[in-house]
Amino acid sequence: MQHRYQEHVDVLIVGGGFGGFYAARQLERSLSGRQRHRVLLVAEENFFLFSPLLAEAASGTLEPRHAVIPLRSQLHSTEVVAGRVSEIDLDRRLARVLDKAGQEQEVLFRSVVLAPGSVPSTLPVPGLAEEAVSFKSLPDAIWLRNRVLAQMEAAEASHDPAARRELLTFTFVGGGYAGVEALAELESLAQVAARHYHRLLPEDMRWVLVEATHTLLPGISKRLARYTERQLRLRGIELHLSSRLKSCVDGWIELDDGTPRYRSGTLVWTTGQRASPLVASAGLPLDERGRVIVDDHLRVKGHADTYAVGDCAAVPDPTGGICPATAQHAMRQGSLAGRNVASDYGMGEPAPFTYRTRGMAVTLGNGKGTAQVGPATFTGPLAWWMGRSYHLLMMPGAARRARIVSDWTLGVLFPRDISQLGALGRPTPLPSPRPSTGAG
Ligand SMILES: Cc1cc2nc3c(=O)[nH]c(=O)nc-3n(C[C@H](O)[C@H](O)[C@H](O)COP(=O)(O)OP(=O)(O)OC[C@H]3O[C@@H](n4cnc5c(N)ncnc54)[C@H](O)[C@@H]3O)c2cc1C
> What mean pLDDT comes out for the span 79-86?
97
Q: Is 328 in the pocket of ligand 1 (CB under 6 A)?
A: yes
Q: Give residue 438's pLDDT.
A: 55
Q: Residue 413's pLDDT band (boundaries 50, 70, 90)? A: confident
Q: Residue 1's pLDDT band (boundaries 50, 70, 90)? A: very low
CA 136 / ligand 1 centre spacing (Å) = 8
395 pLDDT more than 90: yes
254 pLDDT more than 70: yes
CA 113 / ligand 1 centre spacing (Å) = 15
Point out the ligand 1 atom lying closest to the alpha carbon of residue 313: 26
Most confident of the ranges 259-268, 273-282, 357-366, 412-421: 259-268
Q: Give residue 428's pLDDT.
A: 82
Within 8 A by CB and 6+ apart from 413, the residues are none
Helix (H) or strand (E) holding 10: strand 4-14
User: Atom 6 of ligand 1 has which residue's CA nearest to it?
Assistant: 52
CATH entry 2.50.20.10 includes domain 128-271: no
3-state DSSP of 121-166: CCCCCCCHHHHEEECCCHHHHHHHHHHHHHHHHHHHHCCCHHHHHH
4-120+273-357 and 128-271 in the same fold: yes
> What mean pLDDT comes out for the span 236-255?
97
Residue 79's CB: how many other CB atoms inside 10 A?
Answer: 14
Q: Is 291 in the pocket of ligand 1 (CB under 6 A)?
A: no
3-state secondary structure of 170: strand
Fold exhibited by the domain 4-120+273-357: FAD/NAD(P)-binding domain (3.50.50)
The Cα–Cα gap between 422 and 147 comes to 7
pTM, rounded to two decimals: 0.93
> What mean pLDDT comes out for the span 402-423?
86
> What mean pLDDT comes out for the span 110-131?
96
The residue whose CB lies within 8 Å of the most ligand 1 atoms, and thus the one to mutate among 12, 18, 356, is 18
> What mean pLDDT comes out for the span 17-41?
92
Enumerate the domain spans of the chain.
4-120+273-357, 128-271, 358-408
CA 333 / ligand 1 centre spacing (Å) = 13
Residue 219 vs residue 132, higher pLDDT:
132
CA 346 / ligand 1 centre spacing (Å) = 30
The Cα–Cα gap between 67 and 185 comes to 15
Task: Characterize 251-279 residue by residue with b for buried, 16 or more Cβ atoms within 10 angstroms of its Cβ, and e for exposed.
Answer: bebbbeeeeeebbbbbbbbbbbbbbbebb
83 pLDDT more than 70: yes
Q: Give residue 6's pLDDT.
A: 87
426 pLDDT more than 80: no
Q: Residue 45 to residues 99, 348, 372: CA-CA distances in angstroms?
A: 10, 31, 32
Distance between first and last Cα of the chain: 44
327 pLDDT more than 70: yes
CA 137 / ligand 1 centre spacing (Å) = 9
In one-letter notation, the amino acid at residue 406 is S
Of 435, 396, 433, 419, which Cα lies nearest the Cα of 66?
396
2 pLDDT more than 80: no
Within 8 A by CB and 6+ apart from 228, the residues are 180, 216, 217, 362, 364, 370
Q: Is 310 in the pocket of ligand 1 (CB under 6 A)?
A: yes
Of 11, 140, 139, 5, which Cα lies nearest the Cα of 75?
11
The Cα–Cα gap between 292 and 90 comes to 14
Q: Residue 33's pLDDT band (boundaries 50, 70, 90)? A: low
Of 280, 275, 262, 267, which Cα lies nearest the Cα of 125?
267
Q: Give residue 34's pLDDT.
A: 60
Q: Is 425 exposed, middle or buried (0-12, 13-18, 19+ CB in 10 A)?
A: exposed
357 pLDDT more than 90: no
Give the mean pLDDT of the chain: 93
Q: Residue 439's pLDDT band (boundaries 50, 70, 90)? A: low
The Cα–Cα gap between 53 and 110 comes to 35
Q: Give residue 3's pLDDT.
A: 63
Residue 264 vs residue 6, higher pLDDT:
264
Per residue in 123-143, pLDDT tens? Answer: 999 999 999 999 999 999 999
How many residues are listed for the chain in this entry? 440
